[in-house]
C-alpha cells in the first residue's frame, strides 16, 4: 500500500470517480416520458476471441421501465453502433452479432437506452499464448524480482525501486506497453499479450500505529453518509445462506489473520444460518487454498468476504492472489486479460468472476481490499451478475481500520431493528460503522472511506432474532515450550448465540503472550494465566474462562553445516536436539559424480559439519584413481562378468552418454595415460 500521493493525482482520482459515476449510472429517467429505467443486468456470452477467428456473440439485457419507443442498443468504446437489442419479453432484450478479431484489442461494449449509457461488457481480441510465451514472462519476472531485492538491500526507496524497474523494462524489446499506475505501481504488457503489474506494498509499523491509535477515538463523533449516486434493482436478501471467505494471503503474510472466518461464523449464527467456506493462502485449518480457480465458487455464497490486497491495473480494480495460493489456471484467461501477472502473484479482475459465475444468489459482497470501490470496474460487473450490494473502500485502506469497520458493520447487520422487526440494512450498517469508528481511515494518508453500491436495502436475511450468550469454556490448562505457539479454542454457549465479542489477556505476559485471536506464545519458563473475556451485546453480560499455561524451556539447538568438497558452504540449518536436518539437493562437481555425505544428518546432538563426497568419473572400481584397471573393469561389466550399482554405472559411463559400453573403456584408457 502506498502512503503518500501528490496533489495532482488526488485531483485526477476525484475527476475519474466523478466521470465514472456520471457515465455508468444504472438508473435514469427518459426526458420524454419521465419513466424510470432500471438495468438489472447486461452481459454477453463471450469474453474473448482469438485473433484470426470469428464468433457469434449474443448480448443480453434485463431492463425495466423502458419507454415504448426507446432505442436499446450496444455501442463500442469508440461510440459506434454495434447492434440494436430486440425485446424478447417484458424486461428481456437480446441481439446476436458476428465479431471478427483482426488485431489485438480490448473492446468495451456499452449498453444505451436512447442516449444514456448504463452498463458495459468487455471482450478482448487476443493472441493465443504458447508455453514459450509464459516461460519467457516468468523468466522476466525472475529478473525483475532480483533487481527489486538488490535495490531494496541497497536502501533504495520504494519510488526509486519502481523508477529503476521502469528503466529496466523500457529497454526490453518484448514490452509493448509500459506505464505508471501510481508512484509505486507499474503496468506493462508484452507483445504476446500478457498483462503484468509490478507494485510495492507498504504497511505501517507497529510503532506508527500506536502513535496514531488515539485518532480513532477523536473521529468517533464524525458522521458522514456516502452519497449513493447509482441505483440497481432492489434486492432484499441473499437466496443462499452460506458464506465464502477468501483470504489468499493468510499464512503467507503475518498481518492477515483468521478474523474474517471467525466473524463469518458469528454472522452464520446471528443472521444467515448456513455454513462458512474458507479459502486460505496456505490451506490451513482444514480449508482449501484460495486459488484463482476457487473464485469460480462465488455463485454458491450469499455473503462473500474478501480479505486480500487490492490494486489497480490500467485503472481497473483487481483482487490479489498470493503466489503461494494461486494454483493452476487457464492461460486463455491471461490472454483475455482477466488475470494479471505480478511477481508470482496473480491479480483477478471482476471480469474473471463474471465469466465463470454468470449468476450470483443476491449476494452481499464485502471487499476488504485497497481500491475495492475506487471506481465501478469491480462492483458493476458483480452487480450485473446478481450481487445485491458490494461494500468496500474507495482508496487504499489499512488493515487496522478495515478490522474495526468490519466488526462494526457486521455487528449492525446481525442486529434486529426494533422499529421494523427486521435485520438492519446494508445502508444502515455502513452508516453505523462510520458513526462508531469515523468516516475515513486515519492510519493512512489516503483517508479511505467505507462505501457501498447496489441495493442499500439489502439484508443478510429476512429473519433473525438475537440470542444471548449464557456461558464460555476453554481448556483449563496447556503446556508449550519457549518460542512455541498454541491456539486456544473457545466454546460459546449456546452455539447459536448471535452477537458477542471475544478478547484475550495474559496475566503474566512476560511468561506467555496472547493475541486477540487467542494465539499463545511462550516467552520464558514459568506459568501464565490466560483470561478469555466474552462480552454479550444482547444481554449486556460478561463471561470469563481461564487457561493455565505452563511454559517449559526450549530444547537446545545445534547448527548443521553442509559443505562442498572444497569447503564452500552449501547449506546451514539450526535444529533442535534429537531432530533431523534436511539434506540439501545433491550438489554437482565437474568431472565427478556425487556419491553421498560423509556424516549422519539424523538425531543431531551437537554442532555438526557434513561434507559432500564424490567419485571421479571413470573410477569404475572405486579405488580412488582412474587407470587401466578401471578400463578392464568396464570391459568385464559389458560382457556380463560383474555387476555395477546404479552409482557406479554413472561413474563408469566415462563419456556420459547414458550407456556403459566399450566406448567408455576406451575413454578411461585415454584418461589414464594423460
Residues 190 and 64 placed together within one structural domain of the fold: no
CA atoms of 351 and 378, how far apart (whole Å): 8
Has residue 362 been placed in a domain?
Answer: yes
Decide which of 537, 552, 567 is a domain's last residue.
Answer: 552
The predicted-structure confidence for 278-313, as pLDDT tens digits, reads as follows: 888 877 777 888 899 999 999 999 999 999 889 999
DSSP 272: I
Do 338 and 258 lie in a common domain? yes
pLDDT of residue 516: 80
Examine the domain organization and report whether 121 and 138 are in the same domain.
Answer: no
Asked if residue 459 belongs to a domain, the reply is no
Q: How many domains does the chain have?
A: 6
Co-location of 263 and 374 in the same domain: yes
- Regarding whether 111 and 71 lie in a shared domain, the answer is yes
**Predicted local confidence at residue 155, as pLDDT:** 87
- Please indicate, yes or no, if residue 411 is contained in any of the structural domains: no
Q: How many CB atoms lie within 10 A of CB 161?
A: 20
pLDDT of 531: 96
Question: What pLDDT is recorded for position 213?
Answer: 46
Longest dimension (CA), the chain: 104
Residue 606 is part of which domain span? 557-616
Domain end residue (candidates: 342, 364, 397)? 397
Domain check: are 158 and 193 in the same one?
yes
Judgement on whether residues 337 and 251 belong to the same structural domain of the protein? yes
Say whether both 100 and 190 belong to one domain. Answer: no
Residues 374 and 317 in one domain: yes
Strand order across the 316-321 sheet: 175-182, 185-190, 195-199, 339-342, 345-349, 316-321, 310-313
Residue 450 covered by a domain: no
**Structural domain includes residue 104:** yes
Domain assignment of residue 208, yes or no: no
Q: Could you read off the pLDDT of 437-469 as tens digits, one per residue? A: 888 898 888 889 999 998 888 888 865 456 789
pLDDT at 203: 53
Residue 324 shares a structural domain with residue 381: yes
Q: What is the pLDDT of residue 611?
A: 96
Q: What is the domain-level CATH number for residue 246? A: 3.40.50
Does 384 share its domain with 519? no
Residues 6+ away with beta carbon under 8 Å from 560: 572, 573, 574, 575, 581, 601, 604, 607, 608, 609, 610
pLDDT 10s digits, 562-608: 999 999 999 999 898 999 999 999 999 999 999 999 999 999 999 99
Whether the per-residue pLDDT at 24 is higher than 90: the answer is: no
Domain boundary among 64, 97, 126: 126
Asked if residue 338 belongs to a domain, the reply is yes
Q: Residue 75's pLDDT is what? A: 94
Identify the band that residue 212 occupies on the pLDDT scale cut at 50, 70 and 90.
very low
Is position 47 within any domain? Answer: yes
For the segment 355-413, what is each residue's pLDDT rounded down to a tens digit?
A: 999 888 889 999 999 999 999 899 989 988 889 999 999 999 888 889 889 989 988 98
For residues 276 and 390, state if they share a domain.
Answer: yes
3-state SS string for 459-485: CCCCCCCCCCCCEEEECCEEEEECCCE
pLDDT in tens, 497-542: 767 888 899 999 999 999 888 899 999 999 999 999 998 877 889 9
Query: Do 672 and 654 contact (CB within 8 A), yes or no?
Result: no
The strand pair at 243-247 and 276-280 is best described as parallel
Amino acid at each position: 500500500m502506498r502512503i503518500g500521493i501528490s496533489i495532482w493525482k488526488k485531483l485526477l482520482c476525484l475527476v475519474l470517480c466523478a466521470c465514472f459515476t456520471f457515465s455508468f449510472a444504472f438508473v435514469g429517467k427518459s426526458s420524454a416520458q419521465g419513466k424510470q429505467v432500471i438495468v438489472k443486468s447486461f452481459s454477453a456470452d463471450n469474453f474473448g476471441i482469438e485473433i484470426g477467428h470469428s464468433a457469434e456473440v449474443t448480448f443480453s439485457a434485463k431492463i425495466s421501465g423502458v419507454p415504448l419507443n426507446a432505442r436499446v442498443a450496444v455501442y463500442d468504446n469508440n461510440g459506434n453502433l454495434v447492434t440494436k437489442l430486440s425485446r424478447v419479453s417484458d424486461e428481456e432484450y437480446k441481439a446476436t452479432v458476428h465479431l471478427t478479431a483482426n488485431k489485438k484489442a480490448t473492446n468495451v461494449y456499452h449498453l444505451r437506452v436512447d442516449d444514456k449509457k448504463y452498463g458495459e461488457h468487455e471482450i478482448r481480441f487476443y493472441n493465443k499464448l504458447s508455453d514459450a510465451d509464459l516461460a519467457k514472462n516468468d523468466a522476466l519476472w525472475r529478473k525483475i524480482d532480483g533487481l527489486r531485492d538488490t535495490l531494496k538491500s541497497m536502501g533504495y526507496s520504494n519510488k526509486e525501486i519502481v523508477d529503476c524497474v521502469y528503466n529496466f523494462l523500457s529497454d526490453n524489446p518484448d514490452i509493448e506497453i509500459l506505464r505508471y499506475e501510481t508512484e509505486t505501481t507499474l503496468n506493462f504488457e508484452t507483445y504476446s499479450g500478457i498483462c503484468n503489474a509490478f507494485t510495492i506494498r507498504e504497511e505501517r509499523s507497529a510503532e506508527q500505529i500506536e502513535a496514531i491509535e488515539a485518532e480513532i477515538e477523536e473521529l468517533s463523533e464524525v458522521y458522514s453518509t456516502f452519497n449513493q449516486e447509482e441505483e440497481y434493482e432492489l434486492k432484499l436478501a441473499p437466496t443462499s445462506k452460506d458464506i465464502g471467505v477468501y483470504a489468499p494471503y493468510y499464512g503467507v503474510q503475518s498481518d492477515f489473520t483468521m478474523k474474517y472466518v471467525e466473524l463469518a461464523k458469528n454472522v452464520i449464527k446471528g443472521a444467515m444460518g448456513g455454513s462458512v467456506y474458507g479459502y486460505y493462502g496456505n490451506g490451513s485449518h482444514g480449508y482449501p487454498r484460495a486459488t484463482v480457480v476457487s473464485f469460480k465458487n462465488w455463485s454458491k455464497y450469499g455473503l462473500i468476504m474478501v480479505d486480500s490486497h487490492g490494486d489497480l491495473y490500467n485503472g481497473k480494480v483487481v483482487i490479489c492472489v498470493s503466489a503461494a495460493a494461486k494454483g493452476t489456471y487457464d492461460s486463455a484467461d491471461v490472454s483475455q486479460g482477466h488475470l494479471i501477472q505480478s511477481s508470482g502473484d496473480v491479480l483477478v479482475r471482476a471480469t474473471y468472476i463474471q465469466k465463470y459465475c454468470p449468476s450470483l444468489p443476491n449476494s452481499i459482497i464485502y471487499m476488504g481490499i485497497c481500491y475495492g470501490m475506487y471506481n465501478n470496474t469491480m462492483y458493476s460487473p458483480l452487480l450485473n451478475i446478481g450481487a445485491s450490494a458490494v461494500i468496500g473502500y474507495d482508496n487504499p485502506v489499512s488493515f487496522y481500520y478495515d478490522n474495526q469497520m468490519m466488526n462494526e458493520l457486521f455487528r449492525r447487520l446481525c442486529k434486529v431493528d426494533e422499529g421494523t422487526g427486521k435485520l438492519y440494512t446494508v445502508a444502515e450498517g455502513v452508516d453505523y460503522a462510520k458513526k462508531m469508528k469515523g468516516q475515513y481511515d486515519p492510519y493512512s494518508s489516503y483517508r479511505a472511506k467505507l462505501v457501498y453500491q447496489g441495493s442499500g436495502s439489502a439484508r443478510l436475511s429476512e429473519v433473525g432474532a438475537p440470542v444471548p450468550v449464557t456461558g464460555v469454556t476453554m481448556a483449563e490448562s496447556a503446556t508449550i515450550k519457549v518460542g512455541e505457539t498454541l491456539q486456544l479454542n473457545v466454546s460459546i454457549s449456546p452455539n447459536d448465540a448471535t452477537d458477542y465479542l471475544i478478547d484475550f489477556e495474559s496475566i503474566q505476559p512476560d511468561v506467555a503472550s496472547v493475541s486477540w485471536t487467542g494465539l499463545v506464545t511462550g516467552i520464558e519458563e514459568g506459568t501464565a494465566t490466560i483470561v478469555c473475556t466474552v462480552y454479550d451485546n444482547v444481554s449486556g453480560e460478561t463471561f470469563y474462562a481461564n487457561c493455565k499455561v505452563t511454559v517449559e524451556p526450549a530444547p537446545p539447538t545445534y547448527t548443521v553445516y553442509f559443505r562442498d568438497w572444497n569447503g564452500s558452504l552449501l547449506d546451514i540449518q539450526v535444529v533442535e536436539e534429537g531432530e533431523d536436518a534436511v539434506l540439501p539437493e545433491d550438489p554437482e562437481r565437474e568431472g565427478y559424480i556425487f556419491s553421498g555425505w560423509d556424516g549422519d544428518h539424523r538425531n543431531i546432538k551437537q554442532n555438526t559439519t557434513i561434507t559432500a563426497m564424490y567419485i571421479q568419473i571413470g573410477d569404475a572400481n572405486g579405488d580412488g584413481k582412474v587407470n587401466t584397471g578401471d578400463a578392464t573393469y568396464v570391459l568385464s561389466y559389458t560382457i556380463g562378468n560383474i555387476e555395477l550399482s546404479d552409482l557406479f554405472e554413472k561413474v563408469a559411463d566415462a563419456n556420459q552418454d547414458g550407456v556403459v559400453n566399450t566406448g567408455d573403456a576406451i575413454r578411461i584408457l585415454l584418461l589414464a595415460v594423460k
